Structure 1
């Protein structure tokens, strides 16, 4: 793991014993404005003039002020020319944030001096809350401190959990450190549903840590990446709520078993008025699978219903037709 010395801004690679470090979460500007690993090592005048370099400087200054000697920033601490290193970083990203002492979340489109909770505040509408990669960066760290564009503090995650839940739909318990295993797979997928990524494959790759899975990232895989992610999740869990997605866009077709994208986890389906008979197949603390016999205009179908949610609450449902 490479870290930036917050005093000298020199990179150092660590193996084994990793010193305490701060970590930066941010939304990328245009690629030409961010600083790559190679550029940061050479630090030419043109590099130091980039907005991305100034962002690293300000993060280092804040870390020094808070007593941290080391800092991790994704733009310059990963050699993205190495496919092996990039793959390792993508699979380790959640751990990088979880093991940090503090996370600085820079909301570059937010200014100071407004009521953060007001309906149309810059905080509520910040693109930081709409990016795929920042989901794990919000949940994984021990603590997150939010900063506006001028690096003035907006607040801490621990103190703003109710507001952040309202903005993102992420359960407050997840924001204050409850284990992710307490939340169904479908629930965790729903947190990602309103978020977007620049590359379609990253819709899957940014979620590795939320489901504790590892797999090779293959850019060029397109929508197959999200299917591969779900197949990997199925290998390691008996949580069948993964099948509880809805046909909410043209990508999705009712007869498919796995969802084409996280968007399909926004909501559940209603009841079918033609249901005639229902038999429970499986019950656990996350989901109930039921096989129903229903009649259509010309055929009799069997429908597999997946109802999911905490047993103490009303279940949401998803239907798959078998014939």
Structure 2
């Protein structure tokens, strides 16, 4: 695992046995992110200050976000932080695959997660001078709640705090849960592990990703499965995800979907959108009913 030092912005690799306590950032990618290679170039003195040197005009915002996250972590007493944009060498397919499969665990093991809402405008100066507080409507309408990857980043961490565009602390997940629940449709954060497959899929149904495959890859940790990412496979990634889930789960709600746009038929959905109306599919507490085992074969579903 590669972490970023919060005081000098130096990246360091750690083995699984010596990972220190760390903070972690959850944010929405906006095409203005500082990459691993760009941060390395800055640290090696091969580039000037990213605030003024980048011809593409994207470093200033990305660098500001990294500095803000590091400053907050340093204030909270954490020497290290993980930020996906600069802590993963995305030119390495092996490293990217490991990161995608490990991300849920990394967020779960972090001491604190900072959810940075760049489109919620609030700072303490305005509040102190003009008594202008942040708007719950702005919070609910943040695009952070519409992205596929931020679903696991909302649920996995033990402790999560929300921040505005100026890094003003908006509150933690527990305090703001009524707003979060109203926005996401997730009733109970603490009980999300016992939710049915259909319910979890319904949470993802209204979220978007830049790449089609990431709609599946971003859900692997939520369902406790691992599989190699194969960018270019398109909607087949979601089929593979469901097949992996079927290998480890007997939750039949995976079949509780409907898609009026899909006239191809089949047992498995082609995207999380098919579960949009499945949020009320709950597990029955019926100890008298023994479900027969089933498995997917090359000829379809086999029920014994």
Bigger CA radius of gyration: 1
Which residue of structure 1 aligns with residue 244 of structure 2? 232
TM-score, structure 1 as length reference: 0.79
Which residue of structure 2 aligns with residue 260 of structure 1? 270
Cα separation, 1, equivalents of 2:281 and 2:6:
47
User: Which deviations, in whole Å up to 9, do the C-alpha atoms of 1:161-210 show, x marking residues without a partner?
Assistant: 121111110122xx2x3361x11111111110000000000000000110
- Structure with more strand by fraction: 1
Aligned equivalent of 1:213, options 205, 218, 225: 225
Report if the CA contact (8 A) 1:147-1:153 is conserved.
yes
Aligned length: 265
Kindly indicate whether residue 50 of structure 2 is the aligned counterpart of residue 47 of structure 1.
yes
Alignment of 1:59-74 (within 5 A): 59-74=69-84
Q: What secondary structure sits across from 2:181 in the alignment?
A: helix
Q: What secondary structure sits across from 1:155 in the alignment?
A: strand
Kindly indicate whether residue 170 of structure 2 is the aligned counterpart of residue 154 of structure 1.
yes
Q: What secondary structure sits across from 1:122 in the alignment?
A: helix
Alignment of 1:50-129 (within 5 A): 50=59, 51-112=61-122, 113-114=132-133, 116-117=135-136, 121-129=137-145
Say what the alpha-carbon RMSD is for the aligned residues: 1.9
Q: 1:123 to 1:229 in 2, by over 3 A?
A: same
Aligned equivalent of 1:178, options 180, 191, 201: 191
Report if the CA contact (8 A) 2:161-2:172 is conserved.
yes
Of structures 1 and 2, the one scoring higher in RCO (CA 8 A, sep 6+) is 2
Which residue of structure 1 aligns with residue 254 of structure 2? 242
Cα shift at 1:29: 1.3
Which residue of structure 2 aligns with residue 285 of structure 1? none
Cα separation, 2, equivalents of 1:217 and 1:37:
20
Cα separation, 2, equivalents of 1:45 and 1:79:
21
Cα shift at 1:254: 6.9
Any unmatched runs of 5+ in structure 2?
A: 53-58, 123-131, 287-304
Q: 1:115 to 1:60 in 2, by over 3 A?
A: closer
Cα shift at 1:45: 2.1
Cα shift at 1:108: 0.2
Cα shift at 1:212: 0.3
Aligned equivalent of 1:131, options 121, 132, 147: 147
Kindly indicate whether residue 283 of structure 2 is the aligned counterpart of residue 310 of structure 1.
yes
Q: What secondary structure sits across from 1:103 in the alignment?
A: strand
Kindly indicate whether residue 200 of structure 2 is the aligned counterpart of residue 201 of structure 1.
no
TM-score, structure 2 as length reference: 0.83
Q: 1:116 to 1:311 in 2, by over 3 A?
A: farther
Cα separation, 2, equivalents of 1:122 and 1:21:
29
Which residue of structure 1 aligns with residue 12 of structure 2? 12
Which residue of structure 1 aligns with residue 27 of structure 2? 26
Which residue of structure 2 aligns with residue 316 of structure 1? none
Q: 1:46 to 1:199 in 2, by over 3 A?
A: farther
Report if the CA contact (8 A) 1:247-1:254 is conserved.
no
Q: What secondary structure sits across from 1:154 in the alignment?
A: strand
